[in-house]
Structure 1
Amino acid sequence: MHHFLILGGDPRQLYLSRLLEQAGQEVSLYYENPSFSLGEAMEDSDIILCPVPFSKDKKNIHAENQLKDMDINTFLSRLTSAHTLFGGSIPLSVTEYCKAHDIPCIDFMKMEEVACKNAVATAEGAVAEAISLSPMNLRGSSCLITGCGRCAEALADTLTGMGAHVALAGRDAKKLARAWCHGYGAVPLAQLDSHIHGYSFIFNTIPSMVLDAGLAALMDRDTVVIDIASAPGGVDLEACNAHGIRARFCPGLPGKYSPMSSARILYEALCSRI
């Protein structure tokens, strides 16, 4: 039997704790008003489950609740080779530290089964956010997705299933060709300024500035923009708002809209590695 420490994060951590306890594992949950210190919990645990994403500011371990001792450097100073560390989108500085100190470190988001299933949860959350912002139906609407990765593919499939007309924009000609073969519109990212007008919904999945002030000025005023890229995102939200465009940065959608399902994805991946 292992002793798990579940640290920070969002409601996914609560459901993950429940699944592990139901499996008969010993679990310490450092989530909201814990009755123990992080240092004590780390001493008593051999497997540490950090959140997805591991950090949003590269300084502290991500936690929706106000928690003490979440500084990454302090956390690393307490890690030993007796620990096994899990987390999502773990910063390079953390993985390098673990490698230098012989600490097993597994990134959930580098596991194909997690990344693909997480993309589906993210797509459903993005659709929910879009519906909440827009005065229009998704069915019959024109949707643009910037990026051609897992989240973009899952989102394109979800939107198409809801009756929307979908185009993908990206830099990779091969991926755009594949998008076209699947029945989607295909727009080279360099030509986005000629195509940005006319979409009711725009979803960004690229974690660098893509939808800048210049493109915001060309969008329809009733367009809804949902940025689901990793921090810092890829949408100039201030420029969109200045033009009256509804725009929202939406990190952590699986934890917000499907924490139970998302926790089970992590649990199954965890079981396959232990």
Structure 2
Amino acid sequence: MKHKIAVIGGDARYLEMIRQLQTNKDIVLIGYDQLDQSYAGAKRTDLKNIDVTEFDAIILPVRGVGKEGELEAVFSEKDIKLPAEWFKQLKSGTLIFSGIAGSTLKEACQSAGVDLITLMDRDDVAIYNSIPTAEGVLIMAMENTDFTIHGSNVTVSGYGRVGKTVARMFKALGAHVTVAARTTAERARINEMGYRSVDFAELPVAASSADLLINTVPAHVIDKGVICELPAHSIILDIASKPGGTDFEYASQRGIKAILAKSLPGVVAPRTSGKILADVIKEVLEEKKKGANI
């Protein structure tokens, strides 16, 4: 028996996700009226024309929904909104997939008694996505510098799922990599991997010799104390979730180029990113089918 899924809105990475899911899923697309009629063989319709009680899963855009229920649909000229009342029409057991979820979406799902799966909070998605993210950072670094990565001094703020991949990739290209981490265990692993490790309290010292400063921490860690130590030619690439962890105003005052990179996996490799999302969604649906705890 096929799962019946509604994909409501989304961006370029959702095209590959839909193609991957359609093999053994019954897919309905909402917010895709600008696509060719024959795309993926999936049915395209409007929100008002569906019976929401039929669906086993609803896939929302990576960014979730806004405060008024609005959502991103880059393949439609129509505005789409999902008010809290809409969620209450869903049948019990429906899964809601979203990349991230703000308070509006969380409260709507909780009130409706349906399960919310925030894909970008999952370790598997984050680890897989760290690869196109790191490649995107590398592209940005090469586009915005007048020196080679090989032999340059790269400081990475944070040694989480993305920080690990970024540090490894830049080291593989011959950069001298320093990584700031909070715990002694993380710093021990950083040293074992052949990087230089520092505590966040030492980040200003590490920044003083950095050609590139890459922030992966979604907290205000690249502050005035760090930025004032950066050489004039340094570039900050902030890949933490919006609004990032950099004092962009102070960086501008100092003449330091600071870039907030948004949704790199979807920009750099939408096809790969779409497959990652599809694989995880299929796995979650199969786990539910088997009665596993998701």
TM-score (norm. length: structure 1): 0.88
Assess if the C-alpha contact under 8 Å between 2:84 and 2:108 holds in 1.
no
The change in CA–CA distance for 1:74 and 1:240 in structure 2 (over 3 A counts) is farther
Alignment partner, residue 46 of structure 2: 37
Assess if the C-alpha contact under 8 Å between 1:20 and 1:27 holds in 2.
no
Alignment partner, residue 72 of structure 2: 63
Alignment partner, residue 206 of structure 1: 217
The change in CA–CA distance for 1:201 and 1:22 in structure 2 (over 3 A counts) is same
Secondary structure of 2:5's aligned partner? strand
1:91 aligns with 2:102: yes
Assess if the C-alpha contact under 8 Å between 2:88 and 2:111 holds in 1.
no
The change in CA–CA distance for 1:173 and 1:136 in structure 2 (over 3 A counts) is same
After superposition, give the CA deviation of every residue in 1:21-41 in whole Å (9 maximum; x if it has no partner): 354633314256587433434
Assess if the C-alpha contact under 8 Å between 1:5 and 1:41 holds in 2.
no
RMSD across aligned positions (CA): 2.6
Q: Give 1:46's match in structure 2, choosing from 51, 56, 59.
A: 56
Q: Mean alpha-carbon deviation: is it higher for 46-55 or for 121-130?
A: 46-55
Q: Mean alpha-carbon deviation: is it higher for 65-74 or for 178-187?
A: 65-74
Q: Look at both structures and tell me which one has the larger radius of gyration over its CA atoms.
A: 2
Number of residue-to-residue matches in the alignment:
273
Shift of 1:11: 0.8
Shift of 1:47: 1.6
Q: Give 1:263's match in structure 2, choosing from 262, 274, 280.
A: 274
Distance 1:240 1:262 in 2: 31
1:39-188 to structure 2, matched below 5 A, reads 39-41=48-50, 43=52, 45-54=55-64, 63=72, 65=74, 68-70=79-81, 73=84, 76=87, 79-81=90-92, 83-91=94-102, 94-95=105-106, 97-188=108-199
After superposition, give the CA deviation of every residue in 1:163-214 in whole Å (9 maximum; x if it has no partner): 1111111222221121111111111101222221111111101111111233
Assess if the C-alpha contact under 8 Å between 1:49 and 1:85 holds in 2.
yes
Residue ranges of structure 2 left out of the alignment (5+ in a row): 36-43, 286-294
Shift of 1:161: 1.2
Q: Mean alpha-carbon deviation: is it higher for 2-11 or for 25-34?
A: 25-34
Residue ranges of structure 1 left out of the alignment (5+ in a row): none
Q: Percent identity?
A: 28
1:220-231 to structure 2, matched below 5 A, reads 220-231=231-242
Letter in 1 for 2:64: F
Assess if the C-alpha contact under 8 Å between 1:51 and 1:62 holds in 2.
yes
Shift of 1:251: 1.8
Secondary structure of 1:211's aligned partner? coil
Alignment partner, residue 2 of structure 1: 3
Assess if the C-alpha contact under 8 Å between 1:212 and 1:235 holds in 2.
yes
1:13 aligns with 2:19: no
Secondary structure of 2:105's aligned partner? helix
